[in-house]
């Protein structure tokens, strides 16, 4: 009788090779073109991109995601710890990102700094999004704390430091610091005016009492917090550590989230926590919205990175796997599906970096455009991201559904940026408010849309239809429709002007000429080869 070993075949057939080290900069022509066009600093991105793409870093990202943080509320003797333990890979990712300038580039890299930062968000999101949260908030907090010059003098140099310092110490004693944010409460959510957390004066400073439903990155060195004062909502910086020990912040539990597993989102309470006022008493909402405005840019760039990460996996798979006698990449229907998804990703990246350029331009027109365009970019990219990743996952079939692949992690992450910094309804209504109240925003947006007039008949027809339908006023119930159509037009305008001809034409024909319901690969794209070339090499 033959031994069992005789029936074992160790040959692995028709499976792609391991991806190995990947150059996220050199293999992404769309990114390189857009960064150059929008004035970013490619020299600051190449090293970070290559480091993120190594097999070692991608393995660390998977470890950080698979081993979520743990809350240590008390030590073994029953003393309060209110600390979070992370897998070492999480710290490695943060050290890499902060060292590259993720949190600092917007503010210390001169013109093009915001574009460079946005590109870093895109790059990091391809690998693992949870570690991005504290870096994003740290970067976005820099303009907000400018409302308190004395605080800014102490905190700003630490926030812009390229050192990741995990020491449990006051900010003055640290080589680098991070800042988080606590706004929402369980009874109000997006309606922060319903907040009940209160602040009371303590000499020149304040003490805060109350509960916060979400505190992202609770091991940050401080938190920008909204609390009620006698004059209304105020904004406060609550340091995590004081000269004599921990501040009166209690970590109640870590949120068991669908995705973003490596990031320790927490529910917290303030028990008379010491705090510094940031901005005038009663003006807290406007102060903290400065931070929210900048985090929204990252929430618009994250989906572009997630889409790119998923498409890179799908592209690698179809380039190295065959079925029915042909490589998958050579089969017309597969080409149509991937080309369709590529259009969505290139549009999100192109729009996001154009908005990032506006963030860094110091003119009234650019600031107005940034206010409305970041909402449009966040809205559209986050509506499309889960769809793109689902389709990319399906390209791999059952292998895409298994946790050995990064596709499940990317898919779980795909809804999150649409929730953070304003859900779809909140963002769509913000678009309407900007349009109604800010003539400069209307004019800047109209100018950007008009710049592509005459380049494509589908675009011209859709632009005219938008004007006919919403020339003057947009009913609140149609806010989502207006945001989707306008954001799609804005994306098409940019692609028609800056992408290769077949890319812009295919985007306009499939996104503007058809109906709102469609599936990947169902619309005629023409020759898919020029579109697929935008993915770069399948290695």
Average pLDDT over residues 449-458: 98
Give the range of the structural domain holding residue 445, as residue numbers without chain letter.
286-535
Q: Does position 2 have pLDDT exceeding 60, yes or no?
A: no
What is the per-residue pLDDT for 395?
97
pLDDT tens, position by position, 281-307:
999 999 999 999 999 999 999 999 999
CA–CA distance, 10 with 32 (Å, rounded to integer): 42
pLDDT band with cut points at 50, 70 and 90 for residue 226: very high
Looking at the predicted structure, is the pLDDT value of residue 506 above 50? yes
Contact indicator for 205, 273 with CB cutoff of 8 Å: no
Q: What is the pLDDT of residues 310-332, one digit of tens each?
A: 999 999 999 999 999 999 999 99
- pLDDT (tens digit, 9 = 90+) per residue, 149-165? 999 999 999 999 999 99
In a domain, 500, yes or no: yes
Last residue of a domain, one of 282, 297, 326: 282
Q: Flag the least confident range among 1-15, 127-141, 176-190, 498-512.
A: 1-15
Among 343, 422, 414, residue whose Cα is nearest residue 375: 422
Residues 305 and 277 in one domain: no
> So what's the pLDDT on residue 515?
62
DSSP state of 5: G
Close Cβ partners of 477 (under 8 Å, ≥ 6 residues apart): none
What total number of domains does the chain contain? 2
Q: Is 143 helix (H, G, I), strand (E, B) or coil?
A: helix
Domain co-membership, 470 together with 527 = yes
Residues 317 and 224 placed together within one structural domain of the fold: no
**pLDDT tens digits along 266-280:** 999 999 999 999 999
pLDDT band (50, 70, 90) for residue 188: confident
**Pairing relation of β-strands 249-254 and 326-327?**
unpaired
Checking if the pLDDT of 517 tops 50, the result is no
Model confidence pLDDT, tens digit, residues 191-212: 888 899 999 999 999 999 999 9
pLDDT of res. 7: 55
The sign one gets for the Cα dihedral 139, 344, 14, 3 is positive
**9 lies in some domain:** no
| Domain CATH for 325 | 1.20.140.10
Q: What is the pLDDT of residue 88?
A: 98
Residue 345 domain-assigned (yes or no) = yes
> DSSP string covering 158-184, please?
HHT-S------S-GGG-S---EEEE--
pLDDT of residue 147: 96
CA separation for the pair 515, 417 (Å, rounded):
26
Compute the average pLDDT of residues 344-356.
98
Whether 342 and 228 map to the same domain: the answer is: no
- Binning pLDDT at 50, 70 and 90, where does residue 10 land? confident
Question: Are 216 and 257 within one domain?
Answer: yes
Please give the angle made by the CA atoms of 422, 424 and 428, to the nearest 5 degrees. 95
Q: What is the DSSP letter of 221?
A: S
Predicted confidence at residue 258, as pLDDT, reads: 96
- Structural domain contains residue 6: no
In this structure, the answer to whether residues 146 and 196 fall within a common structural domain is yes
Please provide the average confidence, as pLDDT, over all residues in the chain.
Answer: 95
Q: How far apart are the first and last CA of the chain?
A: 45
Domain boundary among 264, 282, 300: 282
Within 13 Å of residue 380, how many CA atoms lie on the same side as its CB? 29
**Is there a single domain that holds both residue 376 and residue 436?**
yes
Q: What is the pLDDT of residues 43-80, one digit of tens each?
A: 999 999 999 999 999 999 999 999 999 999 999 999 99
Of 131, 54, 486, which Cα lies nearest the Cα of 302?
131
Residue 441 has pLDDT above 90, yes or no: yes
Cα–Cα dist 395/391, whole Å: 6
Shared domain check, 277 and 316: no
Are residues 173 and 58 both part of a single domain?
A: yes
Residues 301 and 257 in one domain: no
Q: Given its phi and psi angles, is residue 78 left (phi above 0), alpha (psi -120 to 50 degrees) or beta?
A: left
User: Mind listing the pLDDT tens digit for each residue in 381-426?
Assistant: 999 999 999 999 999 999 999 999 999 999 999 999 999 989 999 9
- pLDDT at residue 36 tops 70: yes
- The reply to whether 344 falls in a domain is yes
For 221-351, strand residue ranges (E) read 222-229, 232-239, 241-242, 245-246, 249-254, 266-277, 322-323, 326-327
Compute the CA torsion angle 236, 239, 244, 247 (nearest 10 deg): 80
Last residue of a domain, one of 257, 282, 307: 282
Q: Indicate whether 300 and 376 sit together in one domain.
A: yes
pLDDT of residue 8: 62
């Amino acid at each position: 009788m033959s031994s069992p070993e005789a029936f074992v075949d160790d040959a692995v057939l028709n499976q792609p090779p391991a991806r190995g080290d990947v150059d996220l900069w050199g293999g992404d022509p769309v990114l390189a073109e857009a960064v150059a066009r929008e004035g970013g600093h490619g020299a600051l991105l190449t090293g970070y991109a290559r480091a993120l793409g190594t097999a070692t870093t991608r393995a660390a990202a998977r470890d950080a995601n698979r081993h979520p943080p743990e809350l240590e509320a008390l030590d073994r003797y029953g003393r309060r710890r209110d600390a979070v333990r992370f897998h070492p890979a999480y710290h490695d990712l943060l050290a890499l990102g902060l060292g590259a300038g993720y949190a600092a580039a917007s503010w210390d890299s001169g013109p093009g700094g915001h574009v460079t930062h946005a590109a870093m968000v895109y790059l990091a999101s391809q690998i693992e999004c949870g570690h991005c949260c504290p870096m994003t908030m740290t970067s976005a907090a820099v303009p907000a704390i400018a409302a308190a010059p004395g605080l800014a003098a102490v905190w700003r140099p630490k926030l812009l430091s390229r050192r990741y310092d995990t020491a449990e110490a006051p900010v003055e004693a640290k080589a680098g610091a991070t800042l988080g944010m606590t706004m929402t409460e369980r009874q109000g959510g997006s309606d922060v005016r319903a907040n009940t957390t209160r602040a009371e004066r303590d000499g020149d400073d304040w003490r805060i009492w109350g509960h916060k439903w979400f505190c992202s990155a609770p091991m940050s060195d401080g938190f920008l917090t909204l609390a009620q004062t006698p004059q209304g909502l105020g904004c406060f910086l609550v340091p995590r550590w004081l000269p004599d020990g921990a501040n009166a912040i209690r970590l109640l539990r870590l949120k068991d989230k669908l995705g973003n597993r490596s990031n320790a989102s927490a529910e917290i309470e303030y028990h008379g926590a010491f705090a510094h006022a940031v901005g005038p008493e009663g003006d807290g909402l406007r102060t903290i919205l400065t931070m929210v405005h900048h985090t929204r840019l990252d929430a618009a760039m994250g989906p572009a990175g997630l889409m790119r990460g998923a498409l890179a996996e799908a592209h690698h798979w179809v380039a190295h796997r065959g079925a029915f006698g042909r490589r998958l990449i050579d089969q017309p229907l597969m080409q149509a599906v991937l080309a369709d998804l590529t259009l969505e990703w290139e549009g999100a990246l192109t729009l996001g970096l154009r908005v990032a350029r506006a963030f860094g331009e110091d003119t009234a027109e650019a600031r107005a455009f940034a206010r409305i365009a970041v909402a449009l970019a966040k809205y559209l990219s986050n509506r499309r991201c889960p769809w793109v990743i689902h389709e990319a996952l399906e390209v791999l079939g059952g292998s895409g559904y298994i946790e050995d692949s990064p596709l499940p992690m990317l898919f779980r992450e795909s809804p999150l940026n649409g929730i953070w910094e304003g859900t779809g309804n909140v963002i769509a209504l913000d678009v309407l408010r900007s349009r109604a109240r800010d003539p400069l925003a209307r004019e800047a947006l109209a100018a950007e849309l008009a710049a592509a007039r005459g380049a494509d008949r589908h675009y011209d027809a859709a632009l005219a239809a938008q004007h006919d339908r919403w020339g003057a006023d947009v009913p609140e119930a149609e806010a989502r429709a207006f945001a989707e159509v306008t954001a799609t037009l804005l994306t098409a305008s940019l692609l028609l002007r800056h992408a290769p001809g077949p890319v812009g034409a295919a985007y306009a024909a499939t996104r503007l000429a058809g109906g709102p319901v469609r599936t990947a690969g169902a619309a005629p794209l023409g020759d898919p080869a020029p579109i697929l070339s935008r993915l770069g090499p399948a290695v």
